[in-house]
Amino acid sequence: MIHAATAAQLAFKEEKMKSKTIEWPAYIQLMEQLLNVPLDDARRKELEVHLTRMAALAEPLMDFPLPQRQEVAGVYKL
């Protein structure tokens, strides 16, 4: 049986994959529940501003095409 928080994570991930836009208030609410860190409305709004800014800064980097043979990162095995 899937835990409610895990089901919410899966639903959020599926929605994210369908669209590039992220519903930051829903994400913040989910993270509050998963991390058990209650936030007041002012903090939620400020966090939404910061997440929106970071996403905008990361977008050109995430859209940068890598050659098919380019390795993203090394793989370390024990």
- Confidence band of 75 (pLDDT split at 50, 70, 90): confident
Predicted local confidence at residue 19, as pLDDT: 54
pLDDT tens for residues 32-74?
Answer: 999 999 999 999 999 999 999 999 998 888 888 877 776 667 7
Domain spans of the chain, in order of start: 4-56
> Rounded CA gap, 72 and 10, in Å?
25
Q: What is the per-residue pLDDT for 7?
A: 66
pLDDT for 65: 83
Q: Which residue has the higher pLDDT, 20 or 29?
A: 29
Distances (CA, A) of 5 to 8, 36, 44, 54: 5, 11, 19, 25
- Reported confidence tier of residue 1, pLDDT bands at 50, 70, 90: very low
